[in-house]
Amino acid sequence: MIPERLESVHRPARPVDVRQVVGVQQRGPGDPTQTHHLGVIWRAARTPLGAATIALRQGADGSVRIAAWGPGREWAVAQAPALCGAFDDDEGFDPTRHPLVADAHHRHPRLRIGRTDGVFDALVQSIMEQKVTAIQAFAAWRRLVAWFGERAPGPTPRPMHVPPSIEGWRMIPSWAWHRAGLEPPQSRTIVEAARRGESLERTLAACAPERRDGILTSLPGVGVWTAAETRVRALGDPDAVAVGDFHLAHQIGYALTGSRVDDDGMLELLEPWAGQRQRAIRLILASGVSEPRKAPRLHPEDHRAR
């Protein structure tokens, strides 16, 4: 029996590429919480009302057909426009401050910054991605959500899972973190964050945007990189910059100047777009300009017991 479905249609006020906007939330090709299948984006999430699965299909006229299942379906349908970038504000953004950004803006006019409004899940993802390769982080996310989450409601195109609740993350046993490939500093950070998870979500939702970074970095093990990643994924922060990223400063520097720069150099290059630096970053990355690879690809080691 297919659970009760709730349907709606979102008609964006401005043109948007929903696959581009929502697609950045997917954590690798095997993400158990999100997939793209036959023109439909499927996403499983834990909402304030419970588990939900949402399906998004964009039509030729730009409208987005929404279907949702599960106890949290009403919340998921109501939140879908934000997920698709409906509340993204690019006021004051001037792409002409650099020719590459101007060209990328011209070629990607439907780029928007969406938000999930799922602060804790975004925080967990960001903590998992600290100081490891994307392959390692995505694998840990995939395993832990599949092991400790719950099956997503609705007729998903493949088995999907809703992430654990905040309490569920806190109760994951130590051996499971290790088996999933996560290091003790990351698992401890997630468990400690879960102890304050509900109050953290309430505080971030109610506070002014300029206070969010300080609140997140007050958590043990959460630095400016993790806070920025959380803010942009969950809250759609158009100015978030992941300082301390292993690759980002090099990519920004090479694209804008032809040479690598460090974090300070990146911040200086992004200063013309203060208040909209995340938007500039996304356009720079969308430009396709990248430094030629000079070294073999890193193959991460697996230190788990075999």
Q: What is the pLDDT of residues 231-281, one digit of tens each?
A: 999 999 999 999 999 899 999 999 999 999 999 999 999 999 999 999 999
Q: How far apart are CA 83 and CA 85, in angstroms?
A: 6
Q: What is the pLDDT of residue 22?
A: 98
CA max distance for the chain: 58
Residue 125 and residue 32 share a domain: no
Residue 274 and residue 237 share a domain: yes
* Distant-in-sequence, close-in-space partners of 247: CB < 8 Å, separation ≥ 6: none
Last residue of a domain, one of 88, 119, 152: 88
Q: What is the pLDDT of residue 306?
A: 45
Query: Counting every residue, how long is the chain?
Result: 306
Could you tell me the residue range of the domain that residue 155 belongs to? 89-306
Q: Three-class SS of residue 219?
A: coil
Residue 164 and residue 69 share a domain: no
Residue 166 and residue 21 share a domain: no
Q: How far apart are CA 88 and CA 80, in angstroms?
A: 13
Residue 184 and residue 58 share a domain: no
Q: What is the pLDDT of residue 305?
A: 47
Percent helix, strand, coil in the chain, to 5, is 45, 10, 40
Q: What is the pLDDT of residue 175?
A: 95
Is the CB of residue 167 less than 8 Å from the CB of residue 194? yes
Residue 116 and residue 66 share a domain: no
Q: What is the pLDDT of residues 174-230, one digit of tens each?
A: 999 999 999 999 999 999 999 999 999 899 988 988 999 999 999 999 999 999 999
Q: What is the pLDDT of residue 153?
A: 97
Residue 207 and residue 117 share a domain: yes
Last residue of a domain, one of 34, 58, 88: 88
Q: What is the pLDDT of residues 37-96, one digit of tens each?
A: 999 999 999 999 999 999 999 999 999 999 999 999 999 999 999 999 999 999 999 999
Residue 265 and residue 240 share a domain: yes
Residue 103 and residue 10 share a domain: no
Q: Three-class SS of residue 47?
A: strand
State the CATH number of the domain containing residue 291: 1.10.340.30
Buried b (16+ CB within 10 A) or exposed e, 35-45: bbeeeebbbbb
Residue 266 and residue 245 share a domain: yes
Q: What is the pLDDT of residues 134-167, one digit of tens each?
A: 999 999 999 999 999 999 999 999 999 999 999 9
Q: Is the pLDDT of residue 296 over 90?
A: no
- pTM score of the predicted model: 0.93
Residue 301 and residue 152 share a domain: yes
- Structurally, the chain folds into a number of domains equal to 2
